[in-house]
Amino acid sequence: MFNFLYCRPFGVELELNAFNGVLATPKGGSPDGIYYVADLVARTLEEYVEIRDFGHTHWYKTHGYWVLKPDNSCGMEVCSPIMQGWFGLKKVCKVVDAFQATPLITADTNCSLHLHIDVNDLMEEEIGNVLRWWIKCEPVFFDSVPDIRKNNQYCRFIGLQDWVDHEIHITTTRLIEILGVSKYCSADTFHLWSGDRNTIEFRIGENSFCKNSFFTKNWIRLLIHFLETARHKAPVDLAWLDVNDVFDFLGFFRKDLSPGMVQIRNWFLGRLAYNMLGLLDGFFTEGRVITRRQVNELWKFFTDFNLQESVRPSQYKEAVYDKIYST
């Protein structure tokens, strides 16, 4: 059976609004509501939580506790310690559930979820494989998120940048360097290149991921599965893939998918359907005729796919936490 058996370490950054709606906190100040949110996280997990000043928090990854800090793009940021496997994923989901159940806590379109995936055990060429496959799959991943993330200064589309040539090979060292100069791309090596921590960061998860644990869970697992798949095979070019190609690359056409993998696949397809079908305007929807056609075809091809259940399950808690979906 094709299972989700990865235990790769990861960390999340969940962006939330300050309670008074102010984006930028004056130097030395604290966003309105940050103490309330910190207390909520501490009570939810029965763990130590620390509030810090604005700045990079790579150190929290080794200290093993949650950190809250100001974020001048949205209000505040909730940073997890190193998480791993089903146990760590459930902790993140519990925090998101606590946010969802608290009306005071909001996450508007200024907010997003950033996922750091540990690549400490990967050789440089394996990291290069991941980055190259990301460029090839990037349009489809962008198809699965709303327009607000498709043309965003904080998660810029890599494949549309001037230095990308689909036919010309670029060395892995140079690729890591280019994606390490700025962290404001859809995927970046900013912390890896600077030596802060050995992670690749993925930044395109939208605001709903900060208050919907089913979305959070499947997005984290989808990207970890992507990384584990991509690390082992070097692509021959940087040409973009279509939806069918990406699903084939991820093994989603296999007949022996575990319940967990089926859930990830169906959630991804459901996200594509909701964000691509019937849209008339937007950065990417015009001209994405093949994407829409293939999403429609896949909808019919996978007999166990239900659009409503794929993204808004009727048995929500079971869909997030039932052990049947753990692998």
Amino acid at 110: N
Is 285 domain-assigned? no
Q: 23: how many CB neighbours lie within 10 A of its CB?
A: 14
Is 258 domain-assigned? no
Is 253 domain-assigned? no
Is 301 domain-assigned? no
Q: What is the CA angle 176-178-182, rounded to 5?
A: 105
Taking only the tens of pLDDT, the chain with its 327 residues reads: 999 999 999 999 999 999 999 988 887 789 999 999 999 999 999 999 999 987 655 544 556 899 999 999 999 999 999 999 999 999 999 999 999 999 999 999 999 999 999 999 999 999 999 999 999 999 999 999 998 898 888 999 999 888 887 666 789 999 999 999 989 999 999 999 988 889 999 999 999 999 999 999 999 999 999 999 999 999 989 999 999 999 999 999 999 999 999 999 999 999 999 998 754 344 445 558 888 899 999 999 999 999 999 999 999 999 999 999 999
Both tokens of residue 152? Answer: 């965003």
Amino acid at 162: D
Q: Per DSSP, what are the bridge partners of residue 83?
A: 10
What is the Cα–Cα distance from 255 to 2, expressed in whole angstroms? 9
Pick from 263, 132, 154: nearest CA to 205:
154
Is 322 domain-assigned? no
| CA-to-CA dists, residue 156 to 18, 22, 26, 97, 142, angstroms | 25, 24, 27, 29, 10
Q: What CATH code is carried by the domain that includes residue 28?
A: 3.30.590
Find the domain containing 178 and state its range: 10-239
Is 267 domain-assigned? no
Is 68 domain-assigned? yes
Is 308 domain-assigned? no
In this structure, are strands 66-71 and 49-51 parallel, antiparallel, or unpaired? parallel
Count of domains in the chain? 1
